[in-house]
Structure 1
Amino acid sequence: MQTYRYEVRFLTPAFLGDAEQSGRWRTPPFKAQLRQWWRVVYAAQAGFKPGLEAAMRQEEGLLFGNAWLTDGFRKSLTRMRFDKWQQGSLRAAQWSSLSTVTHPEVRQAVASDLYLGYGPVVLPRGAQRPTLKANAAIQAGESAVLSVAVPAQHADRIEQALALMHRYGTVGGRSRNGWGSYALIPQEGTPELRGALPVRDWQRCLELDWPHAIGKDEKGPLVWQTTPHADWKELMRTLAILKIGLRTQFRFTTGRNAPQPEARHWLAYPVTNHSVGPWGGSARLPNQLRFKVRALANGQLVGVIFHMPHRPPPAFHPNRTAVEHVWQQVHAFLDAPAQKLFRIQGPKP
């Protein structure tokens, strides 16, 4: 077995629910992350060839455990453990609401944490400020040591997946909005994180209905970075402003039970007060655009926005032309000088 040890340090609060839905150090979210990014590495090494899923699921089931292979249930060959399992140190009574942002579709200013964290962050009836829904969350700056053990023959892909977790990974509730951003810091005896950026032409990515690569266009990878910020609170406000802007550029002409989807529905679904009748009440379409917070060597933080394009599930009857048009507008919005973002390149092999 090949063993790795990393300090996991959170850069923004993480909403990792235990049995009581309070934040606690737990390995399952990180094993899920490792599995997700392992698939991305596998797809890139397979050259994104058609039909790769069958062989990938076979190998994934052997490595991470399964109950679907023809020879029966198998335990995971991948082992993970933290050196501590305690509850997060950030209590609901200590939650300090972030500064507000303007939303053109809302009459009053909206707290940044409520906008980006709605669900784990709530505004109780009669309250003036948002707070945590659960008893606790893991605070920014908290850390623990994660040990990972895998069979040596799988070490190459696992190492590359861990590197992608470090650069793009987030865990917990509302993690696609940047909550639960973390850094993996190799401990003594563990090699430095390495691996190339798995990119693919973003329109070709729409051939598959699962996130298998970071998109690219004629300008390069679809990865944008903010200017440096002194702390996570102001950075999350910046991310809230960006998300509001890229969403509200698509204006609705219908309300509840629209007869067909509008452009904004393809960003993420459901949308409050703007349902699509043919999609029903239980349809879920996660946003393909993800936020991540990274730490710089000088202690400042930057926000990273990246697009993992894929075709919406068949149940949505996606119109490819409409989907492409929406994402072209999003890319143009993020490239516009007014957003003060710049494209960044990934690591080379």
Structure 2
Amino acid sequence: MIITRYHKTETLQLTVEFLTPTFLGGADQNAELRAAPFKNLLRQWWRVAVGSRLANHTALLQAEGDLFGSVLDENQASASRVRLALTPVEGAFLLSEKGIFFGKTPHPEVKGGMAVENALYLGFGPITLKNSKRYIAPGSKANLLLSFPCEEKAHMVDLLHYIDAFGTIGSRSRNGWGSLSLSGEGFAKKDVQTFATAPVSHLVSDKQGRQYPSLLGADSKGVLCWEVDVQKGDWKATMQSLAETYMTLRTKINIKPQGLKERHLLGYPVTNHALTEWGGNNGRMPSQLRLMVKRSPDDQMVGRILHLPHCLPEDKPWKNNLGPPLDIWRSVHAHLDANKHFHRCGGTR
């Protein structure tokens, strides 16, 4: 990681390694290396790295706009003070259109237990029954040049550690696609157990929590992040483990009969279980669970499931129909703790 100074600006040079197929859509919805999604990735994890230090959502938006630029209105428009440039590493960057397959898993709610393609389950949209969109191939690398105000150095380095440990990018990135790893001179990977956390009971509480991710969550067993080791750096085997675990977890959460059920709190919409009061099939509430493939501090490829907790939006009519969200999330955590293939990050293997 090379640091230079020029007119009160710091510059970091890093290498981005793509660990799973990455769907960064261009104008034709096929992949290309673009700066805009990386700018969004920086903003997303800046909110987690810095969010808990700011009083509320309004203060967060103001600080984010001051650093990354804002177009809220004519009086508040400002240019970003963060600049980045991405260039492919010559000989180590490839766009591919090859089909993506890594096994099938029986889904109990599809035709009485029909086996479904794991890749399709995690990537429906860019991946279809017949083919997939063009993607950045796993193993591809790009150079990242990042410039920002000197006074923001600590926050920027902090958020880069979040991205390296938990960040994914592009279409279906919450399901493990677009997983990436950062490296560079002076950039050391951070152990998951060393990140700042808050009790999950506080983060999902109406009185104490916020309706956006602002910190990692933890309980008595540690950070709400589970990990599976995969031999020989096989991203397909890692994604297969994630798909099987995620499918089993979701189908064990109550969804029948029709109406608002516990599984809706894991993310919305739910296939074949739309709610009129939540906007039907057009409603959206992103899942707090994030799947990813990462490189551990000892440079081994691992799969991770992260619960990034926050309060539910107040406009969702869940309060009078279901029990406390924390109870539902505790059942999810218990299911993951009981999975013999996964362990808490930093826990016993």
TM-score, normalised by the number of residues in structure 1: 0.87
**Aligned position for 2:318:** 318
- Deviates most, 77-86 or 55-64: 77-86
Q: Is structure 2 residue 213 aligned with structure 1 residue 211?
A: yes
TM-aligned CA deviation for residue 75 of structure 1: 0.6
Write the mapping of 1:34-113 to structure 2, written as runs, cut at 5 A: 34-44=42-52, 46=53, 51-68=55-72, 71-84=75-88, 89-92=94-97, 94-107=98-111, 108-113=114-119
Q: Is structure 2 residue 281 aligned with structure 1 residue 279?
A: no
Change (3 A) 1:278 1:85: farther
Write the mapping of 1:14-33 to structure 2, written as runs, cut at 5 A: 14-33=22-41
Change (3 A) 1:252 1:57: closer
TM-aligned CA deviation for residue 55 of structure 1: 2.5
TM-aligned CA deviation for residue 208 of structure 1: 0.8
Structure 1 residue ranges, 4+ long, deviating more than 6 angstroms after superposition? none
Change (3 A) 1:61 1:96: closer
TM-aligned CA deviation for residue 149 of structure 1: 0.2
- 8 Å CA contact 2:88–2:141 kept in 1: the answer is no
- 8 Å CA contact 1:6–1:146 kept in 2: the answer is yes
2:242 partner amino acid: L
Match of 1:254 among 257, 265, 268: 257
- 8 Å CA contact 2:89–2:143 kept in 1: the answer is no
TM-aligned CA deviation for residue 96 of structure 1: 3.7
Write the mapping of 1:261-272 to structure 2, written as runs, cut at 5 A: 261-272=260-271
Change (3 A) 1:218 1:297: closer
1:173 partner amino acid: S
Supply the distance in 1 between the matched residues of 2:299 and 2:306 (Cα, whole angstroms).
Answer: 22
Supply the distance in 1 between the matched residues of 2:225 and 2:297 (Cα, whole angstroms).
Answer: 20
- 8 Å CA contact 1:223–1:345 kept in 2: the answer is no
2:32 partner amino acid: R
For structure 2, list consecutive stretches of 5 or more residues without a partner in the other structure.
Answer: 1-8
Change (3 A) 1:59 1:292: same
Supply the distance in 2 between the matched residues of 1:161 and 1:271 (Cα, whole angstroms).
Answer: 31
**Aligned position for 1:199:** 197
The aligned length equals 325
1:105 partner amino acid: E
Supply the distance in 1 between the matched residues of 2:340 and 2:290 (Cα, whole angstroms).
Answer: 16
- 8 Å CA contact 1:242–1:339 kept in 2: the answer is no
Q: Secondary structure at the match of 1:315?
A: coil
1:89 partner amino acid: L
Change (3 A) 1:325 1:167: same
Match of 1:150 among 144, 148, 151: 148
Q: CA RMSD in A?
A: 2.3
Supply the distance in 2 between the matched residues of 1:111 and 1:312 (Cα, whole angstroms).
Answer: 31
- 8 Å CA contact 2:226–2:344 kept in 1: the answer is yes
**Aligned position for 1:225:** 227
Supply the distance in 1 between the matched residues of 2:218 and 2:155 (Cα, whole angstroms).
Answer: 22
TM-aligned CA deviation for residue 140 of structure 1: 0.3
- 8 Å CA contact 2:189–2:297 kept in 1: the answer is no
Write the mapping of 1:331-342 to structure 2, written as runs, cut at 5 A: 331-336=333-338, 338-342=339-343
Q: Secondary structure at the match of 1:157?
A: helix
Supply the distance in 2 between the matched residues of 1:6 and 1:120 (Cα, whole angstroms).
Answer: 28
Deviation readout 1:293-346 (Å, 9 max, x if unpaired): 11257765210111111112122133283422211110000001x442111249
Supply the distance in 2 between the matched residues of 1:300 and 1:39 (Cα, whole angstroms).
Answer: 28
- 8 Å CA contact 2:82–2:149 kept in 1: the answer is yes
**Aligned position for 2:5:** none
Percent of aligned positions with the same letter in both sequences?
35
TM-aligned CA deviation for residue 193 of structure 1: 5.3
Write the mapping of 1:230-245 to structure 2, written as runs, cut at 5 A: 230=232, 231-245=234-248
Deviation readout 1:244-286 (Å, 9 max, x if unpaired): 111011233224xx2xx10111111111111123222221111
TM-aligned CA deviation for residue 90 of structure 1: 4.0
- Deviates most, 309-318 or 200-209: 309-318
Supply the distance in 1 between the matched residues of 2:346 and 2:69 (Cα, whole angstroms).
Answer: 34
TM-aligned CA deviation for residue 105 of structure 1: 1.4
Change (3 A) 1:209 1:13: same
Change (3 A) 1:299 1:157: closer
- 8 Å CA contact 1:23–1:138 kept in 2: the answer is yes
Supply the distance in 2 between the matched residues of 1:96 and 1:276 (Cα, whole angstroms).
Answer: 32
1:102 partner amino acid: P
Q: Is structure 2 residue 315 aligned with structure 1 residue 309?
A: no
Q: Secondary structure at the match of 1:215?
A: strand
Supply the distance in 2 between the matched residues of 1:292 and 1:234 (Cα, whole angstroms).
Answer: 12
Supply the distance in 2 between the matched residues of 1:194 and 1:250 (Cα, whole angstroms).
Answer: 33
**Aligned position for 2:125:** 119
